[in-house]
Amino acid sequence: MSGGTQAGLSGFIVPRREILEPGDMTKWQRSTAFVEISSFIEQLSKSVEGKKVSDVGAGSAGVERICGLLDEAGSWVAMFPPEESEATRFGNKSFRRWAAQLEQQAPRLIRSVVGDERAGAEVEVAAYLTAAFGNATRIDYGSGHELSFVMWLLCLCKLGVLEPADSQAIVLTVFARYVELCQQLQRTYRLEPAGSHGVWGLDDYQFLPFYFGSAQFIGTQTTPAASLDDRLIAEQGDDYLYLRGIRFVMAMKRGPFFEHSRQLYDISGVPRWEKVNQGLRKMYSAEVLGRFPVVQHLVFGTLLSIAQAR
């Protein structure tokens, strides 16, 4: 069966890879999954225009359960401290123990989120969750892992765990909490940036916090030039995903900002956030969704299908 391996009578399947060689990119870009993922990301960005993190309410019970899952996963870092004997710049092997715990606990965690009425869904959606925090073999993290988390969220929307009214909370509560956990893992285990473009990349690890974060500033008095201002970051950094991203970069890298983060520095020279948001959307489509090395590890099943979009 194209798209996965049959698993029981629930109708859900174990998803499998379908983008095996560069020639499969056409199949991917014409697929139902591609159209749905692209639309989902754009809709999420639109939903947070002009909204601060503190503007968003608690969200649905589904939002609360997902945050509980992320909190539990974050608590495992204390269970698997980094190996102090390792002197390498990247890749503390204790991350593999954390990732193994996630792999083992994923079915239980997902059942706690989706509920008994969606029994069997964990066999399909677990793959997106376990791939969302980095690769345990290479001990790295990049935009493909971030994309896997977005695909997991889209699956939860399709299952009815998340509601249309949750759009803002999906970005500013759930996704924001996910990024916090990823940054904790990146700092603790020194995850290597996967497929980084170095100084010419947007960021070593994340992309979407900057895309969603740029939408938050649309309609505000804050200009892109102010996004690198230390005072603004100190005063309003918690309320804007873009500023949180800048703050993390500044904490992780040394030297002048324009030297180690040229793309983000250049964005500060764009006059309007609408233009920034549009540019980042096009960049995401080209540099993440449109790049074989990034999407080759994605998997497809019944919820996110490789079948051609109609």
| Residue 201's pLDDT band (cuts 50, 70, 90) | low
Contact present, 51 and 172 (Cβ < 8 Å): yes
Tens of pLDDT, residues 86-124? 556 678 999 999 999 999 999 999 999 999 888 899 999
Tens of pLDDT, residues 2-55? 344 444 446 899 999 999 999 999 999 999 999 999 999 999 999 999 999 999
Question: What was the pLDDT predicted at 117?
Answer: 86
- The one-letter amino acid code at 122 reads E
Whether 83 has a pLDDT exceeding 90, the answer reads: no
Backbone angles phi, psi at 161, to 5 degrees: -70, -40
Nearest Cα to Cα of residue 90 among 183, 184, 186: 186
Instruction: For 122-140, give one letter per residue: b (16+ CB within 10 A) or e.
Output: bbbbbbbbbbbbbbbeebb
Tens of pLDDT, residues 203-254? 889 999 999 999 999 999 999 999 999 999 999 999 999 999 999 998 888 8
Mean pLDDT, the chain, whole residue set = 92
Whether 160 has a pLDDT exceeding 90, the answer reads: yes
Q: How far apart are CA 7 and CA 282, in angstroms?
A: 37
Q: How far apart are CA 228 and CA 259, in angstroms?
A: 14
Question: What was the pLDDT predicted at 261?
Answer: 81
pTM of the full predicted structure? 0.94
- State both tokens at 38: 């692209």
Section 163-169 average pLDDT: 95
**Residue 213 exposed, middle or buried by CB count within 10 Å (0-12, 13-18, 19+):** buried
- Report the run of H or E that residue 13 belongs to, with start and end: strand 13-17
